[in-house]
């Protein structure tokens, strides 16, 4: 859950992923993705206010489509949303304290959900990276072109003054999390096995958040050739996302895979299919918090035979060790945590985060070290479960 207040200390006049309180005074707004903890303050009144002040919100085309559908924006308010996509920088000018300021903005694919991005902000004084919610494979860090530069024919990481970092799982209790690909293989196998046993069998995907498991829906639908019956409240938004549109359904009788219910509704059966008896329902639960302090390097799922519930470790956020590798690879001057654990004060957690940075700072002459240096940070994790293939 994001605790970032929205303001970038080094760049006055802009707000990112927070649209209330002190952010009212900003001149330019940015949205990394459409999850509710990053949308506080976004409502019709917000769009009317920035329309009246000739201001703009920047986001991806997918996020724009979701916002239009979510808030039923008219044409005037739609025009307050400007899209940024790909990895080509744009230059934004805005008025702050009676001065015209210029800001170069580049979006960075975040690997979190459809339309999710981070932002690279650059002006005459600072280079700032705001990651938004993200999950990168450490093997892919060197492939993110906007975060690298060419110096004397060497591609090296850019130097950042501050990285505003998704620290959701920067916690020793989540040192290792399996890749989404590995988790998806487990889910595909158990779902395929269940629905092939009996034509009456149905699978329920227990996904508590309205938005978040889109990547799971896409990959599961592609692998099994089955559309996913999703919640009514997200169906219209999903249909305007090309990669999702062919993977979902609003017809409960069209699919054997259902993600149409809240977290606890399954216990009373399927409200969309009253004809399905409980013994024909398998519940698959993709989750992360359940795996706190568990050794998921050896097995990434748990099976409860009595309730026919299949739990899989599945995360759209980077693990502790992935974040540590990210920090050591880019080695910014400062780090700002965008998610603070409930049991810590912000300044205490920020200090802990920057201690990791200070203990492993890499100077500019060492930027061309091969990424394999950092693989030692990630535990070698062969999956020894009965269902998995080796990575």
The ranges assigned to domains in the chain are 14-173+318-377, 180-313
- Give me the average pLDDT of each 10-residue run along the chain (391 residues): 93 97 96 94 97 97 91 96 91 92 96 92 97 90 91 91 96 92 94 95 85 87 94 87 91 92 62 86 92 90 89 94 93 94 86 83 38 38 29 28
Question: Using CA atoms, how far apart are residues 330 and 211, in angstroms rounded to an integer?
Answer: 30
Q: Are 379 and 297 contacting, i.e. CB atoms less than 8 angstroms apart? A: yes
What is the model's pLDDT at position 379?
36
What is the model's pLDDT at position 23?
96
What is the model's pLDDT at position 241?
86
Cβ partners under 8 Å of residue 268, min gap 6: none
Q: Are 314 and 216 contacting, i.e. CB atoms less than 8 angstroms apart? A: yes
Question: Using CA atoms, how far apart are residues 370 and 375, in angstroms rounded to an integer?
Answer: 10
What is the model's pLDDT at position 271?
77
Q: What angle do CA 59, 342, 107 make, to 5 degrees?
A: 15
Fold of 14-173+318-377: Metallo-beta-lactamase; Chain A (3.60.15)
Fold of 180-313: Rossmann fold (3.40.50)
Do 14-173+318-377 and 180-313 share a fold? no
Residue 130 exposure: Cα atoms within 13 Å on the Cβ side? 29
Q: Are 326 and 141 contacting, i.e. CB atoms less than 8 angstroms apart? A: yes
């Amino acid at each position: 859950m994001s605790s970032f207040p929205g303001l970038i200390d080094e760049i006055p006049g802009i707000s990112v992923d927070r649209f209330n309180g002190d952010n009212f005074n900003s001149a330019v707004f940015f949205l990394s993705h459409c999850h509710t903890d990053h949308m506080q303050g976004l409502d019709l009144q917000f769009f009317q206010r920035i329309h009246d002040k000739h201001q703009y919100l920047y986001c991806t085309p997918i996020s724009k489509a979701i916002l239009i559908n979510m808030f039923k924006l008219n044409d005037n308010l739609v025009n307050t949303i400007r899209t940024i996509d790909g990895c080509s920088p744009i230059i934004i000018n805005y008025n702050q304290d009676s001065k015209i300021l210029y800001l170069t903005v580049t979006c960075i694919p975040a690997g979190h959900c459809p339309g999710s991005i981070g932002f690279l902000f650059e002006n005459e004084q600072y280079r700032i990276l705001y990651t938004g919610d993200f999950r990168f494979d450490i093997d892919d860090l060197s492939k993110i072109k906007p975060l690298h530069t060419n110096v004397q024919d060497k591609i090296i990481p850019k130097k950042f003054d501050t990285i505003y970092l998704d620290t959701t799982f920067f916690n020793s209790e989540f040192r290792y999390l399996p890749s989404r690909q590995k988790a998806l293989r487990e889910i595909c196998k158990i779902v395929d096995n269940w629905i092939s046993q009996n034509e009456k069998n149905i699978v329920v995907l227990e996904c508590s958040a309205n938005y978040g498991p889109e990547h799971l829906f896409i990959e599961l639908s592609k692998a099994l050739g089955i559309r996913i019956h999703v919640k009514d409240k997200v169906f219209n938004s999903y249909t305007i996302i090309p990669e999702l549109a062919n993977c979902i359904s609003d017809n409960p009788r069209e699919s054997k895979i259902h993600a149409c219910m809240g977290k606890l509704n399954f216990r009373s059966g399927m409200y969309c299919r009253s004809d399905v008896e409980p013994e024909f329902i398998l519940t698959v639960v993709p989750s992360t918090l359940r795996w706190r302090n568990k050794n998921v390097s050896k097995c990434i799922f748990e099976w409860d035979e009595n309730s026919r519930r299949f739990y899989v470790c599945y995360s759209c956020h980077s693990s502790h060790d992935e974040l540590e590798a990210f920090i050591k690879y880019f080695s910014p001057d400062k780090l700002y945590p965008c998610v603070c654990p409930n049991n810590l004060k912000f300044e205490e957690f920020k200090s802990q985060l920057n201690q990791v940075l200070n203990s492993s700072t890499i100077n500019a002459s060492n930027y061309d070290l091969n990424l394999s240096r950092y693989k030692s940070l990630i535990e070698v994790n062969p999956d020894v479960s009965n269902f998995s293939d080796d990575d």
